[in-house]
Amino acid sequence: MVQKVYSDADAALAGLLFDGMTVMAGGFGLCGIPENLIAAMRLAGVRDLTVISNNCGIDGFGLGILLESGQIKKMISSYVGENKLFEKLYLSGELALEFNPQGTLAERIRAGGAGIPAFFTKTGVGTLVSEGKEIRNFDGYDYVMERGLVGDLSIIKAWKGDTEGNLVYRRTARNFNPMMATAGKACVVEVEHLVEPGQLDPDHIHTPGIYVDRIIAGARFEKRIERVTTRPRDTAPGKGAV
């Protein structure tokens, strides 16, 4: 019987890493990032990585620790503004960067995992993003062709998972994780709560276990917050986010 459960992050990545590989890493900012697996990749020392991730962590945490160790050759991202080291490495030419609009990045990954090699989108038509790409008119509007994305490995963070690899995410920590789980040749997941089959409601599974090759209960979750924003207790609840 295939055993998907591994003892820890190092064991779960063993045999899957090689220099020059492409890795998809889930998360938006520091929310929903596979922090245990990122730390294990740093220890493993694998180099010349192309990393597909919406952001690149912050200085000293998340994917930022793979920048510090010089393991990343190229990032495919939509926004990298939170990272001073990123800026330094990029401006000195040590780091390559490909920007994708966030929705195009999400859809490229979804398409890659779904066996769709390319699709057309309105996003980016008439901007730098569409330069050199095929433009086609449908029903009177121009669309740009974008390619599906796949990776050698996807590293995913979920809230709960069972030993079959069925996953449930929590709140906005879902973000890029479900698509990335489908688009890596291998998919390794860390969860906060690893449970037995039957303990998750099959109607509430976000990622079915077919996409998951290996799963661990994360040893430690720091779950840092980039911008803790609060309101004092004496205010009435507002209607918006301010």
Partner 1 sequence: MAWTREDMAARAALELQDGFYVNLGIGIPTLVANYIPDGMSVTLQSENGMLGMGPFPFEGEADADLINAGKQTITELAQSSYFSSSDSFAMIRGGHINLSILGGMQVAENGDLANWMVPGKMVKGMGGAMDLVAGVRRVVVVMDHCEKTGAPKVLKHCNLPLTGAGVVDLLITDLGVFEIDRKVGGMRLTALATGVSLDEIAAKTEASFKVAL
Binding site for partner 1 (CB under 8 A): 28-32, 54, 77-82, 87, 90-91, 99, 101-107, 109-110, 121-129, 159, 169-179, 206, 223-233, 237-242
- Rounded least distance, CB 44 to partner 1, Å: 26
Task: Please state, in angstroms and rounded to a whole number, the distance separating the CA atoms of residues 113 and 158.
Answer: 18
Instruction: Tell me whether residue 113 is exposed, middle or buried, using C-beta atoms within 10 angstroms of its C-beta: 0 to 12, 13 to 18, 19 or more.
Output: buried
E strand or H helix at 160: strand 151-162
- Confirm if 181 and 156 have CB atoms less than 8 A apart: yes
Taking the least distance from each CB to partner 1, the nearer of 50 and 177 is 177
Tokens coding 162: 């069972």
SS3 238: coil
Which residue, 44 or 159, has its beta carbon nearer to partner 1? 159
Between 93 and 240, whose beta carbon lies closer to partner 1? 240
**Which residue lies nearer to partner 1 by CB, 6 or 176?**
176
Report the nearest approach of partner 1 to the CB of residue 18 (Å): 28
CB closer to partner 1, 15 vs 93: 93
The whole-angstrom separation of Cα 161 and Cα 12 is: 15
Sign of torsion over alpha carbons 54, 58, 61, 65: positive
Q: Least Å distance between CB 31 and partner 1? A: 5
Residue 206, judged by CB atoms within 10 A of its CB (0-12, 13-18, 19+), counts as: middle
Query: Least distance to partner 1 from the beta carbon of 112, Å?
Result: 11
Report the nearest approach of partner 1 to the CB of residue 47 (Å).
24
Cα–Cα dist 64/213, whole Å = 26
Nearest approach, Cβ of residue 193 and partner 1 (Å)? 13
6 vs 28, beta carbon nearer partner 1: 28
